Amino acid sequence: MNELRWLMRAKRWAQHPPSSKRVKLVFGVIAFCLLLFAIERFVGVPAWMQMEREPSRFSIKP
């Protein structure tokens, strides 16, 4: 049933494609996310953004 819904949505999208403004917006958001990922990957993140790992509740303490 879900496949039929996606086929109908694809048909509607093919008949009425999104505007160029919306396509630019989507590609802009994707580019921004990739830029943030690259900065975090190659430059790193500041110490204040690092999460401290909490010990597990079930770990056995010596």
Positive or negative CA dihedral for 23, 26, 29, 32?
A: negative
Can you give the pLDDT at residue 49?
76
* C-alpha triplet 33, 35, 39: angle, nearest 5°: 120
Reported confidence tier of residue 61, pLDDT bands at 50, 70, 90? low
Q: What is the pTM of this model?
A: 0.59
Amino acid 58: pLDDT:
66
Q: How far apart are CA 28 and CA 34, in angstroms?
A: 10
Q: What is the pLDDT of residues 4-60, one digit of tens each?
A: 998 998 899 899 998 999 999 999 999 999 999 999 888 887 777 777 776 666 666
Residue type for position 15: Q
